Amino acid sequence: MNFNTIKVAVDTRGVATLLLNRPERHNAMNDELIREVTEAARMLDADPKVRCVILTGAGESFCAGGDLKWMQGILNSSRAERVADSAKLATMLRTLNELSKPLIGRINGQAYGGGTGMIAVCDIAIAVESANMALTEVRLGLTPANISTFVVAKMGRSNARRTFLNARPLSAAKAKEVCLVDEVVPDDQIDAAVEKEIGYVLQCGPGAIAATKKLIFYVDSHDTDTNLIYTANLLADTWESTEGQEGIRCFFNKETPSWRQP
């Protein structure tokens, strides 16, 4: 597919890169970028050759949040149009969050407002030391509504209250402290750090990863009795799957399963 605001590439290993490509606007989100990211995420999710997805930004920024021109246009919209635009942003975040493949955030620079929401939907987020972040909505008299579902899940209620309510700036180190990012590395080491995570992913069964990601969401939102039933059936399902049987057979025979890459 051809895109105007993003670039998508898949290497021979099945590692996809989804690049936010509006460097002149610090990769700020507008309606076109939101639509294209959603389309690309669905396309990559449906492609069985894709093993994981790297989310990053072009230029010096990761994502500066909502584009001001886009936000000005929303001010002149009807309420129905505003709700529809808000729902499109929420859908984009949900689509990224629910990818069946690991989503690795390569946080190459600043991330504000909605950009922190993009970080929060990553399964693994690695940031450069020079990155700065903030949930800036309240400074504009707004609220981080769409991203809150994902950011609160990522950093927890206490950290959300500490960072949502005053829009305080976060260094990369502080963002790690409040659990928004998982690892902080020197700027010139981010590609090596991302590559290390990719290496771990390529050792694992794609079907098992997809099932395990659903498992995490499920057990986090259900009670213990319900989870016990779900997990008993899920483990039986994976034992019976082609991938599971191959993995167990290869383990005992000291062979390499078909999905494992060096």
* pLDDT tens for each residue of 73-107: 777 889 898 889 889 999 999 999 999 999 999 99
Q: Using one digit for the tens of pLDDT, what is the confidence trace for 193-228?
A: 999 999 999 999 999 999 999 999 999 999 999 999
Pinpoint the alpha helices (H) of the chain. Answer: 31-46, 68-75, 79-97, 114-120, 145-164, 172-177, 190-201, 206-220, 224-240, 242-253
**Distance between CA atoms of 35 and 30, rounded to whole angstroms?**
9
The pLDDT score that the predictor gives to residue 70 is: 82
Residue 70 contacts residue 29 (beta carbons within 8 Å): yes
Angle of the 242-253 helix axis to the 206-220 helix axis, nearest 10: 120
Report the topology of domain 6-201: 2-enoyl-CoA Hydratase; Chain A, domain 1 (3.90.226)
CA end-to-end span of the chain? 30
